[in-house]
Amino acid sequence: MSATELNSPLPTHPQPNPTASRLSRRGLLGLGGVTVVAASSVAWTSTAAAKPLQADPFTLGVASGEPAADGVVLWTRLAIQPTALDGLGGMPSRPVEVEWEVALDPGFRRIAQRGRIDAKPERAHSVHVELRGLRPSSEYWYRFRAERYVSMIGRTKTAPAPGHQNKEMTFAFVSCQNLPAGYFNAYEHLAAEQLDLVAHLGDYIYEGVGASQLPGRSHLPAAEIFSLADYRVRHAQYKTDPYLQAAHASAPWVAVPDDHEVENNYAGAISQIDTEPDQDPAVFLARRAAAYQAYWEHLPFRRSSMPKGPDMQLYRRLPYGTLIDFDLIDTRQYRADQVEPCPGDCPARWDPTRTILGDRQEDWLIGALSKTRATWKIIGNQSVTFDADGTTGEGVSYSTDNWMGYAGARQRLYERIADRGVKNFVVITGDAHRSAAANLKLDFRDQSSYTVGTEFLGTSISSGGNGTDLDNRARIWMAENPHVKFGNVQRGYQRVRVRRDALTVDYRVVPHVTTEGAPISTRVSLSVEAGRGGVADIEDGKPIS
């Protein structure tokens, strides 16, 4: 096959954004980790197979992630029948050689690296190529081939070199994409942004039954999922969404799971809803192992995050020159069990022996924050950290499934951050299916107390349905909690523009998700100035100057 033939447009899933013409072209590209061959020494060649693939195996798209200064991870998974209920994607029970190619231009005229890797059945024919030797702060395009089939093209970007005095960066954070709840309309617009990075903060899939009134969006299998085959089918079903595919192909991603990737509201090794009181905990851990394996198989993780049974290394740091350090944390795998909701300010939530991060992860996080010289310290976090009293007038009430239920552990973390003089501390958060911005007070009961940092809570992609500008909870949060400066309950994503002197979050919203396709608008833009903790007050939905 000639280079001209490989670079010619080929049919693929419809691309939902104006910049995706180059993404919708099919070609070769790859996830590295095996043999990398100099561009001048190898051309694409046919690969022989005992029984050739009978249909296009690139039905789940492509992705890149975990950007470093010298490389990224490239991902794809081969699946001819993506939702085949055995979880094997209609693939043969043999390894399939996948060729990959990385270029400095979307036309693949300047090849940076080529190589081959086996997609193995024991990993659901997924491939994770860990590239090295790329240029810092550089755009690349990539593609794959398996036998006579070629993938769509993806765009990626490496991180700045260590110590580089980079001046700006733009990324987005997202969460909670529930397939039965609506179309992933926000991803159409995110894909057009051509961002430096996308951070997914949890609930990439939902494990429940999930029947839907929307055509073709009821969950498969049509039941709650428990086995490895079940989780593979559910992930594959989500991955067939064209807007999600376009978003993955547009920029490198990083991801951390919340609860629905495994089971709603689980805590460590404790199941919340599916185990009998006398059930062996090993039953839930087997489910967690299956869920983590399928999660790893369907996202561009490094080998260092490959699960070992029910355990998966998820907390990690991504440095972006001297501008940003991203610390991604895991608030599910090591947490103590949730306390039961109770009226008022439950004393149990202040118990300092209860943890949400675990001792080792908390020490790692504090150490990382203490040593960094980056201007901005951004934490990728799964659930709300700020206190949000949900009762109007006299009395208080707090959620117990998020950091509010671990107030003692949160207080210890905030005090350690304050004691070490950590500045420009920003938390980005998912889970709540709503947007909010809050100042993180050392004592939320005393608004004059030190502001440790700022939290930007981001809305869902589709969970919760169409949403609205404000609901009763958003009004209560802002009325009862002076540190909460903004609220909104529309669907969308958050675009973050970072400079040395300020960090600005654009809350990008769509008017609906129950019909396909929707315009995008910026509901509000909120800024934090470097050296000044906290976000400005909001009036009529706009910052007060």
Range of the domain at 521: 162-202+314-543
Signed CA dihedral, 433, 439, 440, 442: sign only: negative
Check residue 189 and report its DSSP letter: H
Q: What is the 3-class SS of 110-153, one letter each residue?
A: CEEEEEEEEECHHHCCEEEEECCCCCCCCEEEEEEEECCEEEEC
Nearest residue to 328 via CA among 131, 67, 525, 506: 67
Contact 377, 325 (CB under 8 A): yes
What's the average model confidence in pLDDT over 50-58? Answer: 92
Query: What is the CATH number for 456?
Result: 3.60.21.70
E strands, 248-323, are: 253-255, 316-320
Instruction: Identify whether 394 is part of a domain.
Output: yes
Q: Which pLDDT does position 435 carry in this prediction?
A: 98
Secondary structure class of 394 (helix, strand, coil):
coil
Lowest mean pLDDT among 25-29, 172-176, 207-211, 400-404: 25-29
Query: Residue 150: inside a domain, yes or no?
Result: no
Confidence grade of residue 41 (pLDDT, cut at 50, 70, 90): very low
Structural domain total, the chain? 1
Average pLDDT over residues 163-173: 97
Exposed, middle or buried by CB within 10 Å (0-12, 13-18, 19+), for 252? Answer: buried
pLDDT-derived band at 279 (thresholds 50, 70, 90) equals confident
| pLDDT at residue 519 is higher than 70 | yes
Number of helices (H) and strands (E), helices first, in the chain? Answer: 9, 25
**Which tokens hold the place of 135?**
């240029």
Asked if residue 467 is part of any domain, the answer here is: yes
Does any domain span residue 520? yes
Looking at residue 346, what is its pLDDT? 86
The answer to whether position 358 is within a domain reads yes
Residue 256 counted as domain residue: no
Here the tokens at position 243 are 């807007």
> In terms of Cα–Cα distance, which of 55, 92, 57 is closest to 76?
57
Local confidence band at 28 (pLDDT 50, 70, 90 cut-offs): very low
The residue-averaged pLDDT of 426-448 equals 97
pLDDT at 533: 81
pLDDT value for 445: 92
In a domain, 219, yes or no: no
Neighbour count for residue 5 (Cβ, 10 Å): 11
Is the pLDDT confidence value at 1 over 80?
no
DSSP strands (E only) in 221-333: 253-255, 316-320, 324-328
Does the pLDDT at position 259 exceed 70?
A: yes
Q: What pLDDT, on a 0 to 100 scale, did the predictor assign at position 538? A: 59
Mean pLDDT of 358-373: 97
486 lies in some domain: yes
Q: Are 114 and 142 in contact (CB under 8 A)?
A: no
Closest by Cα among 397, 389, 316, 315 to 358: 315
